[in-house]
Amino acid sequence: MISELNDSVTVIKGVGEETAQSLNEMGIYTVSDLMEHLPFRYEDYRLKDLEKVEHDERVTIEGKVHSQPSLGYFGKKKSRLTLKLLVGRYLISVVFFNQPYLKGKINIGDTVTVTGKWDRHRQTITGSECQIGPYKKAVEFEPVYATRGSITVKGLRRYITNAFSQYGTLIRENLPQRFLNEYKLMSRKDALHVMHFPASAGDLKQARRRFVYEEFLLFQLQMQAIRKVQREQSLGIQQSYNLDSLMAFIDTLPFPLTGAQKRVVNEILADMKSPYRMNRLLQGDVGSGKTVVSAIALFASVSAGYQGALMVPTEILAEQHAQSLKAMFAPVNIKSALLTSSVKGKRRRELLEQLKAGEIDVLIGTHALIQDEVNFHNLGLVITDEQHRFGVEQRRILREKGENPDVLFMTATPIPRTLAITVFGEMDVSTIDEMPAGRKAIETYWAKHDMLDRILAFMEKELKKGRQAYVICPLIEESEKLDLQNVLDVHATLTHYFHGRYKVGLMHGKLPADEKDEVMKQFSTNEVQVLVSTTVVEVGVNVPNATTMVIYDAERFGLAQLHQLRGRVGRGSDQSYCILLADPKSETGKERMKIMTETNDGFVLSEKDLELRGPGDFFGKKQSGLPEFKVADMVHDYRALEVAREDAAKLIASKEFWAGSEYLPLRRYLESTGVLNGEKLD
Ligand code: ADP
Ligand code: MG
């Protein structure tokens, strides 16, 4: 029986070889593929009250013809038919383009039903369809489908209609009955039918609700199954660190840990001690103190007899981490080393040999760490900082440099909960949600570009106190050349302005590595007071004496990125400032600037960013790693997502799920995705 739904679409009446080929190109091969090709929107033919219809919205109305239609021609074969229509108490105009034949059909006094676009200002409908006679409630919603090639929406509707009449009764349920009861969900058969042939808005809503839950549950089952497989099959290392020396190490730190730091350290240590491989995401706002957490984890690994590695995306950051870790490890005799592409020749050969011999405990570096020539003696822990900048492949290679080392991903981009449980659904997540005590909130202001003089005066006041400043220029043009010009121009302007008083440095991605290092060094030693830079300083850079940041064209950045940039100041005990130069045109643009001035909380901002820009833009298009849902919307339907996640976790952990016949369709589905064969997404 079931096999019939898996038959080729050619068994559907009206679908020949050629049509089938076009359908194949749309990803539709079988009868069930066709039935599951859902509309992406609906044409709404419900009668509406014109007063409640927005300008430019499509609408269907019923009215009485109030004037004899008049027909005019313009150009060749182009015509315009106009008439007055009485709709309730309103007299409106209706225009039909290029439908001259309507003239003979419409007469004064007739009741007609017109569908078209409502121009609120002109009180006119530009009609696309006209039916003589009162509104008939035959179809309220007409589905509109994505099509390709020779396939038309009309044709597709016909094939789908035929598919339902030939095979509709064969549609099987895939959700356990108890969920259908508990959440009052439509059966799969009914819901599919409604999606294609909706009788009412209420039905459509219920059908949609069912598919939202189904999509989320199937997705979360995959995530939870991956977690289970990872825990059970990928036996990791049991790192028996020495608790006493770990406590002694924590005592050597210059500050007590915050409550949140203690909590995440415990979560990480529990994973490391356990036999399964840690696969954990550590998220914490800029400045929340992730580096010291990574140091503690690395110490634990070394005290258990293993080596640790810390991989970061840029050389600047690698050097900074190397410095701070070296300082922290000095009192406890842990040997750390830095490996970047600038480490060359004899020095490099020696370092690699020491690493292989196990004489280096902790290696810090850029993706130089994942080159073939880099071999560890016994790698136990891999940490990546700002992990979203590394591809999945790079993470995998680093992990494979040891035998199932524990893995910790750190990120300062606070990830909204909805995204965290989808994109990182197979990982455990630790969150540092508390800042070290005594931090002063950064004051953020939004200014127009024409206020630049006042802003420069403000900067000067801060510089006079012995402080330093960042000036950030965005990538404005598609062309690298023009971007470069932008930052060069600003650099020239400021060099001129501060001439003889303060030194202005320049930093951008096109500088050779040694010049970048030189500039950063000069800035961190206060030889340079103002650093004009592109966003290369976005990640992790730590110069506590810098208290002012000016961001040009701030409207061009996402909120999450602005927040990252802003996090470069406010790192010392002095009051810091962030000035956003922006002339946003759109309302959302203005709203984004306002939000920046109102909150310093990265989580609040990231939720807002997600709301304003949508999930696709959140991580940047290319590396979003976001799953695609047909019906569900992660942001809009996030409550259902959370419910589905809980249900999935409970199912995967239960015995019944793996044996009960009620769950067979779900198990089949999991099998078909391949996640159960020990295959991992990452
Ligand atoms: P991020 O999470 O952005 O990587 P860092 O690890 O660079 O943050 O920490 C930011 C600053 O806060 C550093 O100067 C660090 O020494 C300091 N810091 C970290 N933890 C604490 C703490 N518990 N108390 C006081 N200062 C801390
Ligand atoms: Mg950091």
Exposed e or buried b per residue across 572-607, where buried means at least 16 C-beta atoms within 10 angstroms of its C-beta = bebebbbbbbbebeeeebeebbebbeebbbbbbbbb
Cα of 284 from ligand 2 centre, angstroms: 9
Confidence category of residue 552, pLDDT binned at 50, 70, 90: very high
Widest CA span in the chain:
97
Other C-beta atoms lying within 10 Å of the C-beta of residue 636: 12
| Residue percentage of the chain with pLDDT more than 90 | 54
Asked if 265 and 293 count as a contact pair (C-beta separation under 8 A), the reply is yes
Cα separation, 183 vs 213, whole angstroms:
9
Which of 37-41, 233-237, 293-297, 449-453 tops mean pLDDT?
293-297
Inform me whether the pLDDT recorded for 682 exceeds 80: no
Return the H-helix or E-strand segment holding 266.
helix 259-273
- Indicate the SS3 state at residue 267: helix
For residue 597, the Cα-to-chain-centroid distance in whole angstroms is: 23
Mean pLDDT of 271-286: 89
Least confident span in 244-248, 382-386, 542-546, 635-639: 635-639
| Tokens describing residue 435 | 């800042």
Which among 283, 288, 324 is the best mutation to test ligand 1's pocket, defined by most ligand atoms within 8 Å of the CB? 288
Ligand nearest to the CA of 292: 1
| Cα pseudo-dihedral 242, 247, 248, 252, rounded to 10 | 130
N residues, the chain: 682
Least confident span in 156-165, 552-561, 651-660: 552-561
Q: Is the C-alpha dihedral spanning 380, 385, 386, 390 positive or negative? A: negative
According to DSSP, the β-strands at 379-385 and 307-311 are parallel
| Cα pseudo-dihedral 548, 554, 558, 564, rounded to 10 | -10
Cα separation, 617 vs 626, whole angstroms:
10
> What are residue 141's phi and psi, to 5 degrees?
-125, 130
Confidence category of residue 576, pLDDT binned at 50, 70, 90: very high
Inform me whether the pLDDT recorded for 553 exceeds 70: yes
Start-to-end Cα distance in the chain: 37
Inform me whether the pLDDT recorded for 1 exceeds 50: no
Indicate which residue's Cα is closest to atom 17 of ligand 1.
289
pTM: 0.68
Cα of 289 from ligand 1 centre, angstroms: 3
Cα separation, 499 vs 502, whole angstroms:
6
Return the H-helix or E-strand segment holding 231.
helix 201-233
Other C-beta atoms lying within 10 Å of the C-beta of residue 97: 13
Cα of 121 from ligand 1 centre, angstroms: 58
According to DSSP, the β-strands at 90-97 and 124-132 are parallel
Tell me, what's the pLDDT at 217? 95
Query: What does the pLDDT look like over 239-256, one tens digit per residue?
Result: 999 999 999 999 999 999
Q: What is the CA radius of gyration of the chain?
A: 32
> What are residue 130's phi and psi, to 5 degrees?
-140, 130
Q: Which long-range contacts (CB under 8 A, 24 or more apart) does 191-194 make?
A: 192/35, 192/36, 193/164, 193/168
| Cα pseudo-dihedral 413, 419, 420, 421, rounded to 10 | 180
Mean pLDDT of 274-279: 87
Query: What does the pLDDT look like over 586-631, one tens digit per residue?
Result: 888 898 899 999 998 888 888 887 777 766 555 554 444 566 788 9
- What is the position in ligand 1's atom list of the atom closest to the CA of 385? 4
Mean pLDDT of 379-398: 73
Tell me, what's the pLDDT at 400? 75
Asked if 307 and 362 count as a contact pair (C-beta separation under 8 A), the reply is yes
Beta strands in 13-77 (DSSP E): 41-44, 58-65, 70-74
Cα of 291 from ligand 2 centre, angstroms: 6
Q: For every residue of 612-624, which 3-state class applies, written as one string? A: HHCHHHHCCCCCC
Asked if 39 and 196 count as a contact pair (C-beta separation under 8 A), the reply is yes
| Tokens describing residue 152 | 């038309």
Indicate which residue's Cα is closest to atom 12 of ligand 1.
289
Cα separation, 82 vs 658, whole angstroms:
67
Average pLDDT over all residues of the chain:
87
Q: In this structure, which amino acid lies at residue 120?
A: R
Asked if 299 and 334 count as a contact pair (C-beta separation under 8 A), the reply is yes
Indicate which residue's Cα is closest to atom 25 of ligand 1.
436
Return the H-helix or E-strand segment holding 482.
helix 480-497
Query: What does the pLDDT look like over 280-317, one tens digit per residue?
Result: 989 888 888 999 999 999 999 999 999 999 998 888 78
Which among 292, 312, 435, 565 is the best mutation to test ligand 1's pocket, defined by most ligand atoms within 8 Å of the CB? 292
Inform me whether the pLDDT recorded for 210 exceeds 70: yes
Cα of 629 from ligand 2 centre, angstroms: 33
Q: Which residue has the higher pLDDT, 2 or 364?
A: 364
Pocket of ligand 1 (CB under 6 A): 255, 257-258, 261, 284, 286-292, 412, 436, 542
Asked if 423 and 448 count as a contact pair (C-beta separation under 8 A), the reply is no
| Tokens describing residue 495 | 């060099």
Q: How many CA atoms, within 13 angstroms, populate the side-chain half-sphere of residue 70?
A: 5
Inform me whether the pLDDT recorded for 263 exceeds 90: yes
Asked if 386 and 410 count as a contact pair (C-beta separation under 8 A), the reply is yes
- What is the position in ligand 1's atom list of the atom closest to the CA of 292? 6
Closest CA to 386 of 564, 616, 599: 564
Ligand nearest to the CA of 385: 2
According to DSSP, the β-strands at 428-432 and 279-284 are parallel
- The angle that helices 153-167 and 188-196 make with each other, rounded to 10 degrees, is 150
Return the H-helix or E-strand segment holding 200.
none
Confidence category of residue 474, pLDDT binned at 50, 70, 90: confident
Query: What does the pLDDT look like over 85-97, one tens digit per residue?
Result: 999 888 999 999 9
Other C-beta atoms lying within 10 Å of the C-beta of residue 258: 19
